[in-house]
Amino acid sequence: MERVNGIIWAVASPLLMLVLGCAPEGDGGTQTHTPSDVTYTVGGAISGLTFGTLVLTNNGDDVLFITANGSYSFITELNDGDAYAVQITGTPTDVSCYFLSTNNAGTIVAANVIDINVRCLEPGQTPPVDPGTPAENSGSWDEMSWDDDTWG
C-alpha cells in the first residue's frame, strides 16, 4: 500500500473513482443505466363542474375525487408501455360528464398523458349530439350520471 499525503492510496483510490464516476482500468468506463425508474402520470383537466364530486378511476383501482375545475393527475404513476383506462365512475346528482375525446384509454409511450379532459354539464344541459362537432370536442363520449338512484 502506498501513502499519499497521509491517505492510504489502496483504499482512497477506489473510493475516489466511485465518487468521480471513474471506472477502474480495463473496464473501459462503460456504465449502463436502466430507465426502469422513469414513470409517467395520467391526467387532464376538468371543466363545467360547478358543485358536488366527480369520481374518476384509472385501471379500476386508482381513484380520484374531484370537487373543482382544473388539472388533475392520478396518484399512481405508470411505466413506459403500461396500459391506462380512465373511467368516469361517479358524478354529482343530475350532472352529466363526458370525455372530450377518445383518448381516455391507451398505452404510455415515454411521456405523461395530460389530455384526458372531462366536461361536466349542469342539470338541464344536454351533451352534444356528436361530440366531434364542436371545436372543443373530438370523438365519442362516455357519460355517467346519477338519476333516480341509479347510475345511467
Instruction: State phi, psi for 14 to the nearest 5 degrees.
Output: -65, -35
Is the pTM higher than 0.85? The answer reads no
Rounded to whole angstroms, the Cα distance separating 81 from 59 reads 14
Strand, helix or coil at 90?
strand
Instruction: State the pLDDT at residue 134.
Output: 39
Q: Which amino acid is at 84?
A: Y
The CB density around residue 58, as the number of other CB atoms within 10 Å, is: 24
Q: How far is CA 68 from CA 63, 130, 133, in A?
A: 16, 26, 26
Residue 64: pLDDT above 60?
A: yes
Find the mean pLDDT for residues 141-147: 47
Q: State the average pLDDT over residues 73-84.
A: 97
What is the pLDDT averaged over residues 70-99? 96
Residue with cell 366536461: 119
Task: Report pLDDT for 53.
Answer: 97
pLDDT for 125 equals 79
Q: Any idea where the domains of the chain sit in the sequence?
A: 1-32, 35-124+131-146
Most confident of 4-13, 24-33, 46-55: 46-55
How many other CB atoms are found less than 10 A from the CB of residue 118?
25
pLDDT reading at 96 higher than 50:
yes
Q: What topology is assigned to 35-124+131-146 in CATH? A: Immunoglobulin-like (2.60.40)
